[in-house]
Amino acid sequence: SPLMEEFFDWCRQQAVLTGSKLGSAIDYALKYEETFKKVLEDGRLVLSNNLAERAIKSLVMGRKNWLFSQSYEGAKAGAIIMSLLETAKRHGLHTEKYMNYLLDHLPNEETLAKIEVLEDYLPWSEIIQKNCQ
């Protein structure tokens, strides 16, 4: 992109004190110039980490509360459920419908030991996509 090239050319032309905040920022930008340019090659990449930060916000908000879980097993179960819900969101599911579907159908399965059975309940499975959006 011409704008990005102009920015990096500007960075190379600056005479700033090494170690100053601006100097450190320019050094960082030039050190990772090729990495920053990769975002222009693949439309799925983003320059900002805002989406990732937003995705883990609910985890960060509850972190202190979970220090007081009654048991290791309870904390582990909570982590599994939250991970599953966040994955469901990323796959476009309505999380309440998804949880209701799991609670309605999983207890009726003959066995949960078979991976093929569990795979049908993952957020990206065809049947879940059909029933939980």
- Give per-residue pLDDT as tens, 92-105: 999 999 999 999 99
Position 66 scores a pLDDT of: 67
Tell whether 41 and 56 lie within a shared domain.
no
Tell whether 95 and 57 lie within a shared domain.
yes
Tell whether 121 and 60 lie within a shared domain.
yes
- The residues near 69 (Cβ < 8 Å, ≥ 6 apart) are 75, 78
Which of 5, 129, 45 is closest to 120 using CA atoms?
129
Which of 73, 79, 72, 77 is closest to 58 using CA atoms?
79
Listed in sequence order, the DSSP H helices in the chain are: 2-13, 21-31, 33-38, 50-55, 57-66, 72-90, 95-105, 115-119, 126-131
Tell whether 43 and 79 lie within a shared domain.
no
Tell whether 32 and 75 lie within a shared domain.
no
| Spatial separation of the C-alpha atoms in residues 120 and 3, rounded to whole Å | 47
CB–CB of 91/131 below 8 Å? no
Which has the minimum average pLDDT: 11-25, 52-66, 101-115? 52-66
Cβ neighbourhood burial of 113 (10 Å; 0-12, 13-18, 19+): exposed
pTM over 0.85: no
Give the residue numbers spanning the domain of 43.
Answer: 2-47
Tell whether 61 and 113 lie within a shared domain.
yes
